[in-house]
Chain A
């Protein structure tokens, strides 16, 4: 069956450390993978997109990797800050019908 999984438990990280979030999928062949941030009571906000032929993408303190062999994407926040605390969602974009398939999200808590 098709699945997309993110760490279901909250991730607690000390301020200043690197936070790493995981997105695993099975039985999908996405053309793209997106990462979003969602704060309580608000809609998700787009952070980064990575294409299937890209291994890594960076934006300021954020880095995303995409391994189509392992069917996994890793999302890193370096020098983490309490303001980075939020839920982070990954979404696969299918090339066939443009539909996004969403993970359930991982809650990240950065402790001062």
Chain B
């Protein structure tokens, strides 16, 4: 089985711009979660989608949004970028929702905001 893929792998944007990141889960997985990882804050949960519905949401401002398509692929969008949004954004898929089941992570998208 192919693993979780994320595109793009690296991205450089300037403050005020918006960005869209994409995640393709493992075939058959219906749950996709997004995380932000920074050296100071560790792994922070953004949101989780299951069968096109947002099931859980972390404590991030409304500038961070996401969606999931019928084929389980997911996108996350960050509008009005701030310097503090520079981070590694990770996507993870899971077979039956994250309850007890392992999360399969993609390689991440490294976002740099200048």
A residues in contact (CB < 8 Å) with B:
31-32, 34, 36, 41-46, 49, 51, 89, 91, 93, 95, 97-105
User: Do A98 and B55 have beta carbons less than 8 Å apart?
Assistant: yes
Q: Within 8 Å CB of A41, what residues of B?
A: 88, 108, 110
Q: How far is the CA of A43 from the CA of B33 in the complex (A)?
A: 13
User: Do B99 and A32 have beta carbons less than 8 Å apart?
Assistant: yes
Q: How far is the CA of A97 from the CA of B33 in the complex (A)?
A: 13
Q: How many A-B residue pairs have CB under 8 A?
A: 67
B residues in contact (CB < 8 Å) with A:
4, 33, 35, 41-45, 48, 55-56, 88, 90, 92, 97-108, 110
Q: Within 8 Å CB of A45, what residues of B?
A: 105
User: Do B98 and A93 have beta carbons less than 8 Å apart?
Assistant: yes
- Give the Cβ gap from A49 to chain B, nearest Cβ, in Å: 6
Q: Majority SS of interface residues in chain A?
A: strand
Q: How far is the CA of A44 from the CA of B37 in the complex (A)?
A: 11
User: Do A43 and B108 have beta carbons less than 8 Å apart?
Assistant: yes
Q: How far is the CA of A65 from the CA of B36 in the complex (A)?
A: 28
27 CB-based A-B contacts, threshold 8 Å: A32-B100, A41-B88, A41-B108, A42-B105, A42-B108, A43-B106, A43-B107, A44-B43, A44-B105, A45-B105, A46-B104, A89-B42, A91-B103, A95-B99, A98-B48, A98-B55, A98-B99, A99-B45, A99-B98, A100-B33, A100-B98, A101-B45, A102-B45, A104-B41, A104-B42, A104-B43, A105-B43
Query: Assuming A42-B108, A99-B45, is B99 touching A31 (CB within 8 A)?
Result: yes
